[in-house]
Amino acid sequence: MKKKLVAVMMASALVLGMTACSSGGADKGGSVKPDEVYSEEGEQVTLEFINGSAEEQYVAWLDEVIANFEEKHPNIKIEIQKTSIDSFNQTVMTRFATGDVPDLFSFSANDMTDMVPSGYVLDLTNSPNMENYSEGMLDSFTKDGKVYALPIANDFMCVTYNKGTFEKAGIKKVPETWSEFLEVCKELQAKDIVPIASGFSEQWVVNGTSQTVYCAQVLANEGPTLAELVDRSSTFAGTEQWNGFFTKLQEIYPYMNKDPFGTDQNTCYSMLANGEAGMILNGTWTVTNATAMNPDAEFGIFALPVSENADDNVMPMCPPEAAVAVAAESPHKEEAVQFLEYMMSPESASLYAEKGAGIPIIKGVDTSNLKGAFKDAADIMNRGDVKVISSKSFPSANEDAFINDVSGFFLDGCKDPEGAMKKLDTDFDNLVK
């Protein structure tokens, strides 16, 4: 039965792929054309793909994409190397430094500064897939007009909530202004539900919650870019938007779970999924992780409403951070690019959305199959309630200083925004020297 199902799925995927290719303009896409298979004379090629994402849906999607691809290209095998996010950079860096290069690897926008100048990443500018991205979407992977990696989806910082929990607490609509947001927090707390679950024992969560607030409060609000803060042409202290950032933290801190620094994020996901908590302020990946804890729960997302004017509260979004790149020194460049192009094709992107792995940013994807938070996200996109913002991530040394100082601010009971901003300025000053 299961085998039959897989067979049917594979067959339909194959047919889909063929129709996609035979229908007009996409012909230039080339890579998915079955007649390009040259298995007979082509030697067996195994591609190594170092994958940094362990999210269940992503892995499931990737497995299916690989199965589809291998069916069309019997001479190519894709081997996945799983590496945890924490050690991903070292693993990849070490592999490159020692000359033992993988063919494909997960690539983050941060890698543009070190890996691209070192000449480790293949230039993809001439790929036909470029047409599938909207203007500006590839900015984070572009340097001197050359594109080095292709993304499938985008993550952004938002509020993730449990629809069932909101309903149970009698909250009828998603908050649209800051005072409505605080009101919702109060109502949840009155019902003995933790309004905002925060797993600050993991440092990236401190950063994630901060990003949710500063993307909306600072970056989408004409505040200084993070790069300006890093190169010290702008300061935290004396910037109205950053002052707003710390006052917002101050206001939401009483609505967080007790002992956030002794709680890890997995606990928070399960609190959200099981109705013990109402919201998590972090990235869109919260939905996937919380769903894994309780597949029956339905989640939703909304932009953190930092303004009192409902119309100003749109979803702040950076160009994507995560993508996949091909190693310039790979011995099987052609095959690797071929796979990458298939992986980022509209066909794979549709599958990506159906699996609930995330929000695809590739043109030609049918989003009508989406549900829950993915539907919310699609609605936001369709309404155009999106604002493209500058990078939301500090360089790692600054990021660590930022995390430490914001953690300190929380641990001191959020009493001293002025002091926190001064501390940040001193620490950032020291990093420039």
Under the rule (CB under 8 A), what is the footprint of another protein? 89-90, 93, 96-97, 114-115, 117-118, 200-203, 259-264, 267, 396-397, 400, 403-405, 407-408, 411, 430
Handedness of CA 409, 276, 370, 182 (dihedral sign): negative
Q: How far is the CB of 429 from another protein (least distance, A)?
A: 11
Closer CB to another protein, 97 or 388, in the complex? 97
Q: How far apart are CA 348 and CA 16, in angstroms?
A: 10
Q: How far is the CB of 91 from another protein (least distance, A)?
A: 10
Amino acid found at 428: F
Give me the residue label for tokens 């033992």: 100
Closer CB to another protein, 114 or 231, in the complex? 114
Q: What are the beta bridge partners of residue 137?
A: none
Q: What are the beta bridge partners of residue 146?
A: 143
Q: How far is the CB of 384 from another protein (least distance, A)?
A: 38
Q: How far is the CB of 305 from another protein (least distance, A)?
A: 29
Tokens representing 326 are 């091909």
Amino acid found at 163: K
Q: How far is the CB of 317 from another protein (least distance, A)?
A: 26
CA angle 69, 324, 82 (to 5 degrees): 80
Closest CA to 102 of 62, 43, 46: 46
Closer CB to another protein, 34 or 117, in the complex? 117
Report whether 45 contacts 358 (CB < 8 A).
Answer: no
Q: How far is the CB of 203 from another protein (least distance, A)?
A: 5
Closer CB to another protein, 251 or 329, in the complex? 329
Closer CB to another protein, 206 or 287, in the complex? 206
Report whether 121 contacts 149 (CB < 8 A).
Answer: yes
Q: How far is the CB of 139 from another protein (least distance, A)?
A: 23
Q: How far apart are CA 428 and CA 419, in angstroms?
A: 14
Q: How far is the CB of 261 from another protein (least distance, A)?
A: 4
Beta strands in 239-333 (DSSP E): 277-283, 299-302, 315-317, 322-326
Q: End-to-end CA distance of the chain, in Å?
A: 65
Closer CB to another protein, 232 or 363, in the complex? 232
Closer CB to another protein, 75 or 407, in the complex? 407
Question: Within a 10 A sphere around the Cβ of 357, how many other Cβ atoms?
Answer: 23
Collapsed DSSP state (helix, strand, coil) of residue 164:
helix
Q: How far is the CB of 93 from another protein (least distance, A)?
A: 5
Label residues 291-319 b or e (16+ Cβ within 10 Å = b).
bebbeebbbbbbbbbbbeeeeebbbbbbb
CA 3 from chain centre, in angstroms, equals: 33
Closer CB to another protein, 12 or 87, in the complex? 87
Q: How far is the CB of 280 from another protein (least distance, A)?
A: 17
Tokens representing 137 are 């979407």
Closer CB to another protein, 366 or 418, in the complex? 418
Closer CB to another protein, 277 or 389, in the complex? 277
The phi and psi torsions of 413 (rounded to 5 degrees) equal 80, 25
